[in-house]
Every structure is written in C-alpha cells, then in structure tokens.
C-alpha cells in the first residue's frame, strides 16, 4: 500500500493509493520427508497488513499532497533519468520534501532541483552529506575551498530557484526543514566483537570528500553542533508555526534516534550507527513537537536508505 499525505484546511490524513490486489493465500509446510506428509501437515494462511483509514473527502475538499524523496543521487544517469521522467502535470498542486543527498556535483544538483521545481508547486530541501562532497566539477562551475562554502552555494541556488530551505506554513500545515549532521557518540549500542570491521575512514567517503574548517570535525560533536545551530536562525518562524499550526511536519537528512536503524547484528556494516544520526536533532525535534509528541507529530528523514514507519514517544517517523 502506498501512502500519500494530503493536506486540507481541517485535517492531515494518510490517503491510500489505488488498492492492492487481494492478499495471496499460500500453503506452509514443516518440510517433512514426503509430499504426502507435507500436505497433511500444511495450513492455509494469508498475510495482511493493518490499513490506516482515511475520512471520506470530496474531490473539491482534497488539498495538496505531500511527497517525500531522499537520496536521489542523480550523479548516476539512471537516477537523473527517473527524475526527468516524472510528470510535468500530475504534481503541479503538490508539495515535495527533499531530505538530502540530491547529487555530489553542483551541476547535477542544480539540474535536479530545477527539474523538481518545474514539477511541484512547492519544494523544500535540507542538505545531505553527499551534497557537500567537494568533488571535481565540470568546466565553468565553481571550485570550493570547503564544504561550508559549497553549502552556501547550494542554498543560494535554492533561493534562486524558489526552493524553500526555511520553515513555512502552507494552508495551515507547518513545514520545518532541519539542518543536521551526525556524530559518533550517537551510537550507544554495544559494538560487535570477534570480527574484523573496517574503520569509518575506510568505509565512509565523507572523511575524505568533505572538507571542513579546522575548528569543526567529523570525529567530535562539533560538526553536529554547528549544523544544529543553523536552525536557530529560524526560531521566530518555528515559534509562529508552533502557535498557529495543528499539523507540523519536520524533516532532516540524518536520524534523530538510533531505534530508527536496524540493530548492528542485522547490518552489512555494523558501525553504520556511528555515521547516521544526531542527539542534537532529537532535542530540536522535541522542542517543536513536544517532549511527548502528539497525534499529528511527524518527522521524515533519509540517509540510511531504509524504509521506516514507526512511532517513538509520540512522534511518527
């Protein structure tokens, strides 16, 4: 079932896409030695998933839809082609939240954002780690002294294209983009012992492709703290949203809670939790949605490429 959020003047609901085919009924057996035994010991069963009901809405009452994309990585031609294949008419009234990792080069970033802004009425963006890699650019495009300079160039490009990077209210729905970065101390799960695990520097290109001023670093909380502080510029807008909106969606590239990632024993790279999330982000989100959350609290994130839908302490992520 594909769920798309619809915003109306009175409610924010999850609306189902066209219904899926009926659940497939299958047979399960306990792998006994003969077909006859297997058949005798089998049981019929079907798997169903709980449906989230939506109130009936007339065609006139339907507001814009909220779509979420992250980790497009359009430096890969097939991903860029997918963006180009999106309808230029179907989403003209809709809103897109773009949760980072659009492209590694400025050229591909700008092209992707232009394509998406042509297709959606509103586009919101927060940067991901790949966006801030200081990679070689095509001739005629800028060179960056460090990743912060590139970040400013990307934000300038967004302003020029009409892509939003600041909080905004749309028909009573509050949208809050949150800047963030990861830190190793976010990981509180016991490390897996007894096997050789490559270092973060060997696995994560951020340690080589991103360039930072000396006073901030991936190896401490300084970088995560720096990005979190960028959100303080929007405190007045966030306060207005908290006071006027009954539905608020916050979104970030990185994760606010380690529970939003599989346990280390299930991961191909067990040290992944050290480079995915921020405690600063969790505090920031709670300051917006409340320490205990609420029925309409929603936060969206990207980065890990895992599809996730859960409620943690009153906030749906």
Domain identity same for 86 and 200: no
Q: Is residue 204 part of a domain?
A: yes
Let me know if residue 41 belongs to a domain. Answer: no
Domain-terminating residue out of 132, 147, 165: 165
Total domains, the chain: 2
Q: At what angle do helices 106-119 and 77-85 cross, to 10 degrees?
A: 20
The whole-angstrom distance between residue 48's C-alpha and the CA centroid of its chain comes to 27
Range with lowest mean pLDDT among 135-139, 177-181, 307-311 = 135-139
Split at pLDDT 50, 70, 90, the class of 142 is low
Could you tell me if residue 47 is inside a domain? no
- 101: its two tokens: 């990792």
Q: Looking at the structure, do residues 185 and 147 belong to the same domain, yes or no?
A: no
Cβ–Cβ < 8 Å for 210, 128: no
Same domain, 74 and 214: no
Q: Both 107 and 199 in a single domain? A: no
pLDDT tier at 143, thresholds 50, 70, 90:
confident
97 and 237 share a domain?
A: no
Is a pLDDT exceeding 70 seen at residue 313?
yes
Distance CA 23, CA 45 (A): 10
Average model confidence (pLDDT) across the chain: 84
**Are 149 and 173 within one domain?**
no
194 & 284 share domain: yes
**Is residue 211 domain-resident?**
yes
73 torsion bin: left (phi>0), alpha (psi -120 to 50), beta (else): left
pLDDT digits 0-9 by tens, 31-77: 333 333 433 443 443 434 344 444 454 444 458 899 999 999 999 99
- Same domain flag for 202 and 290: yes
Q: Which of 113, 147, 165 is the last residue of a domain?
A: 165
The whole-number average pLDDT for the span 284-303 is 94
182-233 residue pLDDT tens: 999 999 999 999 999 999 999 999 999 999 999 998 889 999 999 999 999 9
pLDDT at 171: 92
Among 165, 187, 218, the domain boundary falls at 165
Burial class (CB in 10 A: 0-12, 13-18, 19+), 286: middle
User: Do 158 and 189 fall within a single domain?
Assistant: no
Domain membership of residue 121 as a residue range: 64-165
On whether both 242 and 189 belong to a single domain, the answer is yes
Tokens of 148: 């912060």
Task: Tell whether 280 is covered by a domain.
Answer: yes
Distances from the Cα of 75 to the Cα of 11, 72, 81, 112, 160, angstroms: 38, 9, 10, 10, 21
Residue 298 confidence (pLDDT) above 90? yes
Do 120 and 245 fall within a single domain? no
Do 172 and 161 share a structural domain? no
Look at residue 79 and tell me if it is in a domain: yes
10 domain-assigned = no
Residue 183 inside a domain? The answer is yes
């Amino acid at each position: 079932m594909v769920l798309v959020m619809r915003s109306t003047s009175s409610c924010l609901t999850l609306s189902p896409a066209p219904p899926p085919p009926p659940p497939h009924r299958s047979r399960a057996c306990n792998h006994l030695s003969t077909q006859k035994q297997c058949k005798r010991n089998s049981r019929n069963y079907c798997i169903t998933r709980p449906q989230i009901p939506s109130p009936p809405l007339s065609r006139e009452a339907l507001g814009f839809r909220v779509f979420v994309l992250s980790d497009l990585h359009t430096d890969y031609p097939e991903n860029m082609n997918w963006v180009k294949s999106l309808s230029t008419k179907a989403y003209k009234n809709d809103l897109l939240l773009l949760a980072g990792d659009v492209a590694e080069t400025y050229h591909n970033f700008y092209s992707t954002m232009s394509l998406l802004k042509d297709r959606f009425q509103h586009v919101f963006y927060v940067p991901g780690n790949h966006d801030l890699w200081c990679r070689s650019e095509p001739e005629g495009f800028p060179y960056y002294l460090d990743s912060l300079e590139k970040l400013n160039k990307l934000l300038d490009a967004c302003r020029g294209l009409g892509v939003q990077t600041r909080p905004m209210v749309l028909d009573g729905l509050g949208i809050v983009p949150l800047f963030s970065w990861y830190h190793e101390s976010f990981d509180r799960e016991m490390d897996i012992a007894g096997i050789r695990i490559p270092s973060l520097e060997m696995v994560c290109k951020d340690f080589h492709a991103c360039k930072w001023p000396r006073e901030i670093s991936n190896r401490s909380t300084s970088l995560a703290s720096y990005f979190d502080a960028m959100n303080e510029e929007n405190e007045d807008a966030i306060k207005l949203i908290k006071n006027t909106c009954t539905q608020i969606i916050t979104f970030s590239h990185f994760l606010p809670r380690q529970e939003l990632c599989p346990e280390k024993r299930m991961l191909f790279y067990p040290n992944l939790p050290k480079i995915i999330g921020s405690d600063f982000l969790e505090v920031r989100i709670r300051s917006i949605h409340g320490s205990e959350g609420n029925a309409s609290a929603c936060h969206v994130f990207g980065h890990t490429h895992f599809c996730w839908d859960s409620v943690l302490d009153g906030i749906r992520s």
